[in-house]
Chains A and B, each alone.
Chain A
Amino acid sequence: MKLLEALGALEESLSSQSPLLTVRLACGFSPLHLRTFLNAHLRQEFPAHRIQVGIGLYDDLAGNLERLESASSDAVVCVIEWQDLDPRLGIRRVGGWAPKQLTDITRGVRSTAARLADSLERIAQSNTVALALPTLPIPPVAFTPGWQAGSFESDLRQAVAELSTRLAGRAGVRIVSVQRLDRVSPPAARFDVRSELTAGFPYRLSHADALAALLARAIRNPSPKKALITDLDDTLWKGILGEVGVESIAWDLDQHAQKHGLYQQFLASISEAGILIAAASKNDPDLVDEAFRAAKPILPRDRIFPMEINWGAKSESVARILRAWNVGPDSVVFVDDSALDLAEVKAAHPEVECLLFPRDDDQAAYQLLEDLRDLFGKQALSQEDEIRLESIRASHAAAQAVGSPHMTPERFLAEAEGKLTLRFGNDPGDARALELINKTNQFNLNGKRHSDASWKRYLGESRVFLAVASYEDKFGPLGKIAVMAGRRDGSKISLDHWVMSCRAFSRRIEHGCLLHLLQKFGAEEAAFDFVPTPRNGPLQEFFAGLLGAAPERSFCLRKEQFGEKCPPVYLEIQEASNE
């Protein structure tokens, strides 16, 4: 983005009714164009929000951060440069670069880094923090030549690495990747000496733009995709199975097929991290079974579900996979080496992200892995990530059991041994609760999302309660699958949020949740801040079952009304203690 474009973007105004996103930019240099670019990129990341970027005082990063500890905002962007860690590492001061001063500079850097880390940790308790660690070159301070990494430079880099390690694990802190910044903003083209000396702004425009883009992305932290569908021949492995046979498919260096091995390794890795993997291949099912049994790919057979192996159109296989998973197509990536198959799937499922596996280009195949990492990367792994595949399999097995001639849906539910556990407590640290609020579409009361900061603020409001529901039955655990949040007001409860994972449908968990909530609070009625969305059809059907027709807006439901319409709930419902 050019500065001219960034300034133009700032002029595009939204209605004053649009939600406001307040971001504080803390840096020690004059924020000038970094503020402009940050504002413009935030507008791109949050197109429905009005953006306000506040700044602090010049040349006082530590003070700016300490003042932000008690300020209210949605997010804090902190940019640390070497001169913020010790002014002698800047070029606007001449405090001395003598060899005897180097130890003192190192000590100063460590001391300031610790002070900044303390402050950032306090800010992160109530804000999302996007952090950039020194992006500019260390000035020619040391007596060693520039092509050699002397102990002084190594000590400085170690101090920053320790700062990064300390903060990277903190909830709410997102640090800009050095590797990614190096790729989009070459280190040698970042420092603008003239601008630093004349205006106190040390970045070339291209660097300010690139850094601002990454910081804005870190604030938005886009939801990762949930699932990947892969082709097999010339994608998961090299070779056409039906032509070359099981013994000749390959994914190793010897057969010049390493990119397929790396791809399998990557899929195995994201599968362990809770991403669903399915296969869609025009192939002979027996041959594919034999390939997995005899050739033992790096991605094991049991990490792939479902496996759609047939000679039909790929789009139909994808449709069956989406039904088995019960996830929205916009959460899914499809990878195939055939441009034709990709186009056919894209035409039938436009929301699925379709990516070409470049079977003849190692460099492009490596780039594909980088792109997939961006699409599936997540901040942290949860217990639900570990059990997701098994719970999908269990749901599928349960659905098949219901479809058998001897099993009615009612009998199936009665015999499922379902156990619903609700945990009450306004814990903003339960990342799964916020994840469900922000990722769930189909059973979602109103589609309202929260940032880390707004979620913390909401849970801190008076009379607000939060209930997180977990479920398991004889087919296995589903983990935390539902969140209800609202307010208690005498004999009435008002629900502001109610979301449930699509994996938990058809078990009357929603009935069980509402039943327990009414009983627990002794409520005579429940008010729902309902908003119909293009995607919350399953929730609308649930309400239609209780009201006779789907509601059009917020409404109240009396306890007797619910009791009359509520079907038998076969769940054992219990509350978990908040130890």
Chain B
Amino acid sequence: MNDLQARLSRCFSAVFPGLNAQQIAAASVQTVEKWDSIAMVTLLSVIEEEFGVQFDPEDIETLASFQKIFDYVGARRKVVND
């Protein structure tokens, strides 16, 4: 597990404390019952604070799984680092 994945997993774990590592990796709006609009706001706020990135409001609806958020944050960090 790379650094981004580990830190992102910690964010998911804080917002969805019942999930194990495998469930987090496969987490999505469909698979996690508690992933409602409030949980989404909390999750994105935690990630923004943790990684220093900012989500574009128009992109939020597309960020419906761990993998999609992982890709999004990875791309944003790359842009920032470049």
Query: Main secondary structure on chain B at its contact with chain A?
Result: helix
Q: Which residue of B is nearest A208, CB measured?
A: B45
A33 close to B45 (CB less than 8 A): yes
B42 close to A36 (CB less than 8 A): yes
Question: Which are the 6 A-B pairs with shortest beta-carbon distances?
Answer: A7-B14, A199-B41, A3-B46, A198-B57, A11-B17, A4-B14
CA distance A119 to B49 in the complex (A): 37
Query: Main secondary structure on chain A at its contact with chain B?
Result: helix
Q: Which residues of A contact B46 (CB under 8 A)?
A: 3-4, 7
B42 close to A205 (CB less than 8 A): no
Q: Which residues of B contact A33 (CB under 8 A)?
A: 42, 45
A3 close to B49 (CB less than 8 A): yes
Interface residues of B in 23-82 (CB under 8 A from A): 38, 41-42, 45-46, 49-50, 54, 57, 60
Quick one: CB contact mask for A379-421 with B, threshold 8 Å, 1 for yes? 0000000000000000000000000000000000000000000
B10 close to A4 (CB less than 8 A): yes
CB of A10 to closest CB in B, whole Å: 8
Chain A interface residue count, CB cutoff 8 Å, equals 16
Interface residues of A in 1-29 (CB under 8 A from B): 2-4, 7-8, 11
Residue A373 at the chain B interface, CB threshold 8 Å? no
CA distance A201 to B44 in the complex (A): 13
- Residue from the list A2, A7, A195, A205 in contact with B15, Cβ < 8 A: A7
List 11 contacting pairs A-B, 8 Å CB cutoff, sorted by A: A4-B14, A7-B14, A7-B42, A32-B38, A33-B42, A194-B57, A195-B45, A198-B41, A198-B57, A199-B41, A201-B41
Interface residues of A in 184-205 (CB under 8 A from B): 194-195, 197-199, 201, 205
Q: Which residues of B contact A197 (CB under 8 A)?
A: 57
B50 close to A4 (CB less than 8 A): yes
Known: A2-B50, A194-B54, A201-B41. 20 other contacts (CB 8 A): A2-B49, A3-B42, A3-B46, A3-B49, A4-B10, A4-B11, A4-B14, A4-B49, A7-B14, A7-B46, A8-B14, A11-B14, A32-B41, A36-B42, A197-B57, A198-B41, A198-B57, A198-B60, A199-B41, A205-B49
B45 close to A3 (CB less than 8 A): yes
Q: Which residues of A contact B50 (CB under 8 A)?
A: 2, 4
Quick one: CB contact mask for A30-66 with B, threshold 8 Å, 1 for yes? 0011001000000000000000000000000000000
Chain B interface residue count, CB cutoff 8 Å, equals 15
Which residues of A approach B to under 8 Å, CB–CB?
Answer: 2-4, 7-8, 11, 32-33, 36, 194-195, 197-199, 201, 205
Q: Which residues of A contact B11 (CB under 8 A)?
A: 4
Q: Which residue of A is nearest B41, CB measured?
A: A199
Q: Which residues of B contact A2 (CB under 8 A)?
A: 49-50
CA distance A199 to B49 in the complex (A): 16
CB of A43 to closest CB in B, whole Å: 15
Q: Which residues of A contact B10 (CB under 8 A)?
A: 4
CB of B44 to closest CB in A, whole Å: 9
Q: Which residue of B is nearest A197, CB measured?
A: B57
CB of B46 to closest CB in A, whole Å: 5
CA distance A36 to B45 in the complex (A): 12
Q: Which residues of B contact A194 (CB under 8 A)?
A: 54, 57
CA distance A104 to B5 in the complex (A): 54
Q: Which residues of B contact A11 (CB under 8 A)?
A: 14, 17
CB of A9 to closest CB in B, whole Å: 10
Q: Which residues of A contact B57 (CB under 8 A)?
A: 194, 197-198
Q: Which residues of B contact A195 (CB under 8 A)?
A: 45
- Residue from the list A8, A32, A198 in contact with B42, Cβ < 8 A: A32
CA distance A3 to B41 in the complex (A): 12
CA distance A11 to B46 in the complex (A): 16
Q: Which residues of A contact B60 (CB under 8 A)?
A: 198
CA distance A33 to B46 in the complex (A): 10
CB of B43 to closest CB in A, whole Å: 10
Q: Which residues of B contact A199 (CB under 8 A)?
A: 41
Q: Which residues of A contact B54 (CB under 8 A)?
A: 194
CA distance A11 to B15 in the complex (A): 10
Q: Which residue of A is nearest B54, CB measured?
A: A194
